Amino acid sequence: MALFRRSAAVAAPQPASARRTANDLRPGEAATVCCLKDPQMALKLLEMGCIPGTQVRLAGRAPLGDPLMLVLGDEEYTLSLRVSEAATIQLKD
Amino acid sequence: MAGAIQEARPAGPLPGTGGAAPVAERLPRLALIGNPNSGKTSLFNQLTGLNQKVGNFPGVTVDRKTGIAALGGQRRAEVVDLPGTYSLYPKSLDERVIADLLYNPLSPDYPDFVVVTVDASNLRRSLLLFSQLADLGLPAILALNMTDVAAERGIQIDLPALERELGVPVVPMNARKGVGLAALRIVMADRLAARPPAGRFWQPAAELRPLLAAIRTRFDLPNDYLALHYAHQFEQLHFLNEADRHYLTELTQEYAFDSTAQQASETVARYAHINELLLEVVTVTRTERREPASNRIDKVLTHRVFGYLIFLAILFLLFQAIFAWAQYPMDLIDQGISALSAAIQERFSGPLVRLLTEGVIAGLGGVLIFIPQIALLFAFLAVLEETGYMARVTFLMDKLMRPFGLSGKSVVPLISGLACAVPAIMGARTIESWKDRMLTIFVTPLMSCSARIPVYTVLVALVVPDESWLGIFNLRGLVLMGLYLLGLGSALLSALLLKTVLKARERSYFIMEFPVYRWPRWKNVGLTIVEKVKAFIFQAGKVIVAISVLLWVLASYGPGQRQAQAEAQVQQTAQAQRWPAAETERRVASARLENSYAGTFGHVIEPVIRPLGFDWKIGIALLTSFAAREVFVGTMSTIYSVGQDADLGTVQQKLANEKDASGQSFFTPARALSLLVFYVFAMQCMSTLAVTYRETKSWRWPLGQLVYMTGLAYAASLLVWQVFA
């Protein structure tokens, strides 16, 4: 619950697009998950281990640019998700 | 309490126990549960071997695999394999089975304890599901799988500490190699005697207590966490009745229960707890900072050029295998069957012998001849799935599929549709989005399934010369590939058409985990092949043999005196014209067939199919094919063996020998092509219609398939015949 309140509070003062998302990562670049924008999507992402504070790294994209491969956390397991889904994962600066 | 539950179970034979005498003591039942790719299937196969049964979960069509595991001594247990899942909150139809099973202590399948398979190289995420199961109060064993992968990555797990923290036995293992299996059996046998529940991990927030107390009282539930799941999922629990659901709707509204927010905070809290717990248990020492092999393989297999080329090459190999390699065993089966028929006909005669050779044995041959191709195809699919390559195919294809309204996840059902539409349509259950799933189900039967192979094989071999093109490609193989591409193309275009009509009910997800690349376990591949071939022989096979026999009767006998009259007329003409005996015999047989029940049937529909280039004999085959396509070859074989020499063994020879009125070969390329195109498109499979009904819970979808596909087939054949003839 607190999760969504926080993301709403963060999004309020600045336009939503200002915060970088997992989709803005360059190949090979890593960053830390800050919050998840979309409540329904968040449930799926959370249970697959993509929780705020986790490190994500963009391992690469499919030949047509979408979907993309994110490597998560210390365990280094790979999730494949669409650009629209990755765009709901907001990153810490 | 336990006694009350026992009594409430249905008295009938339990599914999976094969109707063993109910007097005998019921076997202890354990459920196997775990994340996708955590090695659950390997463990199930190791525990049960060939001692498996596939059935359905009650009320739904999810495959329910059960088996008997020997635990040493006299002790045995029934093992139920549950679909892979990341949490107890289902996101797909498959996963809902778990909720139905674990939330209803009165269910006949309710397990005595659960074995949770956990990926040791990804302990944190795997423990989420485990902690939920523990909080439900289920006695559990943790099968710590893939310890080899964990060791490779420098992950050390302090087992005694883990056991202490979780409060359940932990068995380290490598299910693929069978390591740790003996220890697991011993621990399982131990658990049969005493079943202490696991420790507790998480408690629902205090503000929810009044709501949960009310649910617990009404349904007599043992703990708050189970009550919480009722509050979350009551709409999807099959065992609740209308009144219960109404009660829960009102109750959750009264307490303003926010399912999404509660789920999110639960998951986050659980991960926080698990992280803390693992600090004491897991140490990671990176020996080298080399990229994992899987990631390096992915660089090639999902490469923008090589990725697609490799996928195409694998598909081409698949078709070559089905067409070329399967040919040798198929020829052997074919020759064996015709030799058997000929041998019997040589020694005996009479109507019963003819029923046996022309009906039963001919039909049986039509079943057996499929086995090499089905086995090869499922071997390929199983290997692709086992190695983890199938997930990469989904990844590669998603963007390509989306313009057609499908997703990358539709690719697996579509490719499985090459084997058989029935399991493929069931496989579409992994697609969470309703619209994506309906589109996939609707178009999957357009993919050329293995039942079409014999039709393709016979007709292609009949009219396409066995030559190579550019020295390497077999011409027949190319034509066959063209037919498959025609099926694929029509499936995609049909999805595009339907996409504009259908409205989405919810958003579609794509997110999934990439399994690491592994060598296939040949035992798993072998079990898949055995399971599919068995299912084919005993399910489709029965229909095929029955229809073959029925057909032989319909083709041998006719209404009233019509056959006798026709025969007399031919005999008269023969005497007047002084035909040789052989000629007379052939004409008599032909006249008898034409005046049989089947012939009458074919004649009735001939005006409708004549514009496609088909005659009444093909008409009979088309009609019988509506039960199942593969009947076509059997029918043709039966119909054309009436009135021909018995030594014309194979169906191909029989068809090649067929002449039209002017004495020319009847099966011209144009006619064969028209027939081939008809079989690419037409919906001629009762099993597919039945499974579509079960999966969509509506007659609209199977009826839609029947009308649409048959219409498409008619139009396409009409076009081909009118243009080429």
Whether residue B376 sits in one domain with residue B463 = yes
Per-residue model confidence as pLDDT tens digits over B420-456: 787 788 778 777 778 888 999 999 999 998 778 878 8
State the pLDDT confidence band at B12, using cuts at 50, 70 and 90. very low
Question: In 10 A of CB B199, how many CB atoms?
Answer: 13
User: Is residue B114 included in any domain, yes or no?
Assistant: yes
Per-residue model confidence as pLDDT tens digits over B541-574: 776 778 778 877 887 888 888 888 888 888 888 8
Structure confidence at residue A23 (pLDDT): 92
**pTM, entire model:** 0.77
Whether residue B210 sits in one domain with residue B102 = no
Residue B303 and residue A1: Cβ atoms within 8 Å? no
Residue A64 and residue B153: Cβ atoms within 8 Å? no
Residue A80 and residue B395: Cβ atoms within 8 Å? yes
Whether residue B333 sits in one domain with residue B274 = no
| A-chain residues near B271 (CB < 8 A) | 46, 49, 51
Facing residue for A45 by CB, picked from B258, B260, B511 = B511
| B-chain residues near A73 (CB < 8 A) | 124
Which amino acid makes up residue B648? Answer: L
Range of the domain at B149: 2-193
| A-chain residues near B299 (CB < 8 A) | 60
State the pLDDT confidence band at B346, using cuts at 50, 70 and 90. confident
Of the residues A80, A81, A89, the best mutation for testing chain B's interface (the one with the most B CB atoms within 10 Å of its CB) is: A80
Could you give the 3-state DSSP secondary structure of residue B169?
Answer: coil
| A-chain residues near B518 (CB < 8 A) | none
User: Is residue B513 included in any domain, yes or no?
Assistant: no
Facing residue for B395 by CB, picked from A49, A51, A67 = A67
Q: In this model, does residue B494 exceed pLDDT 60?
A: yes
Q: Does A83 touch chain B (CB under 8 A)?
A: no
Q: In this model, does residue A14 exceed pLDDT 70?
A: no
User: Is residue B476 included in any domain, yes or no?
Assistant: yes
Q: Does A70 touch chain B (CB under 8 A)?
A: no
Whether residue B175 sits in one domain with residue B230 = no
Question: Nearest C-alpha of chain B: how many angstroms from A82?
Answer: 6
CATH number at residue B147: 3.40.50.300
User: Is residue B556 included in any domain, yes or no?
Assistant: yes
Whether residue B266 sits in one domain with residue B168 = no
Write the secondary structure of B559-599 as one string of H (helix), E (strand) and C (coil): CCCHHHHHHHHHHHHHHHHCCCHHHHHHHHHHHHHHCCHHH
- CA separation for the pair A60, B625 (Å, rounded): 48
Range of the domain at A26: 2-91
Whether residue B217 sits in one domain with residue B138 = no
Structure confidence at residue B59 (pLDDT): 52
Whether residue B268 sits in one domain with residue B218 = yes
Question: Nearest C-alpha of chain A: how many angstroms from B450?
Answer: 31
- CA separation for the pair B600, B596 (Å, rounded): 6
Do residues B457 and B477 make contact, with C-beta atoms less than 8 angstroms apart?
Answer: no
DSSP of B277-292: HHHHHEEE--S--PPP
* pLDDT average, residue stretch B665-692: 87
Closest CA to B47 of B27, B30, B24, B64: B30
Structure confidence at residue B74 (pLDDT): 81
Question: Nearest C-alpha of chain A: how many angstroms from B408?
Answer: 9
Q: Which of B68-72, B282-286, B704-708 has the lowest mean pLDDT?
A: B282-286
Whether residue B589 sits in one domain with residue B549 = yes
Q: Does A77 touch chain B (CB under 8 A)?
A: yes
Closest CA to B421 of B630, B590, B607, B242: B630
Whether residue B615 sits in one domain with residue B490 = no
State the pLDDT confidence band at B531, using cuts at 50, 70 and 90. confident
Whether residue B231 sits in one domain with residue B149 = no
Whether residue B269 sits in one domain with residue B159 = no
Domain boundary (B193, B218, B252) is at B193
Domain boundary (B433, B467, B501) is at B501
User: Is residue B350 included in any domain, yes or no?
Assistant: no
Question: How many percent of chain B have pLDDT more than 90?
Answer: 23
| A-chain residues near B125 (CB < 8 A) | 48-49, 75, 77
Sequence-distant (≥ 6) Cβ neighbours of residue B381 within 8 angstroms: B415, B416, B419, B528
Report chain A's C-alpha Rg in angstroms: 12
Could you give the 3-state DSSP secondary structure of residue A80?
Answer: strand
Whether residue B708 sits in one domain with residue B637 = yes
Strand partners, B469: B473
| A-chain residues near B298 (CB < 8 A) | 59-60, 69, 78
Q: Does A51 touch chain B (CB under 8 A)?
A: yes
Structure confidence at residue B647 (pLDDT): 45
Residue A62 and residue B398: Cβ atoms within 8 Å? yes
Of the residues B510, B516, B518, the best mutation for testing chain A's interface (the one with the most A CB atoms within 10 Å of its CB) is: B510
- ipTM for the assembly: 0.82
Question: Nearest C-alpha of chain B: how many angstroms from A15?
Answer: 24
Residue A3 and residue B264: Cβ atoms within 8 Å? yes
Closest CA to B407 of B508, B497, B307: B508
Structure confidence at residue B8 (pLDDT): 38
Q: In this model, does residue B56 exceed pLDDT 70?
A: no
Structure confidence at residue A6 (pLDDT): 42
Q: In this model, does residue B358 exceed pLDDT 90?
A: no
State the pLDDT confidence band at B289, using cuts at 50, 70 and 90. low
User: Is residue B363 included in any domain, yes or no?
Assistant: no
Question: Nearest C-alpha of chain B: how many angstroms from A18?
Answer: 24
- Number of structural domains found in chain B: 4
Closest CA to B199 of B274, B275, B145: B274
User: Is residue B200 included in any domain, yes or no?
Assistant: no
CATH number at residue A19: 2.30.30.90
User: Is residue B516 included in any domain, yes or no?
Assistant: no
Q: In this model, does residue B643 exceed pLDDT 70?
A: no
Residue B396 and residue A47: Cβ atoms within 8 Å? no
Facing residue for A39 by CB, picked from B264, B294, B295 = B264
Better-scored residue on pLDDT, B59 or B135: B135
Facing residue for A85 by CB, picked from B122, B396, B511 = B511
| A-chain residues near B208 (CB < 8 A) | none
Per-residue model confidence as pLDDT tens digits over B26-55: 788 899 999 988 888 889 988 888 777 766
* pLDDT average, residue stretch B201-223: 91
* pLDDT average, residue stretch A20-31: 92
Structure confidence at residue B451 (pLDDT): 79
- CA separation for the pair A50, A67 (Å, rounded): 17
Question: Nearest C-alpha of chain A: how many angstroms from B406?
Answer: 14
Q: Does A63 touch chain B (CB under 8 A)?
A: yes
- CA separation for the pair B704, B689 (Å, rounded): 10
| A-chain residues near B511 (CB < 8 A) | 44-45, 48, 79-82, 85
For A59, nearest residue in chain B (alpha carbons):
B295
Facing residue for A48 by CB, picked from B86, B263, B299 = B86
Q: Which of B79-93, B157-171, B290-304, B641-655 has the lowest mean pLDDT?
A: B641-655
- Number of structural domains found in chain A: 1
Per-residue model confidence as pLDDT tens digits over B613-638: 998 888 888 877 766 677 787 677 66
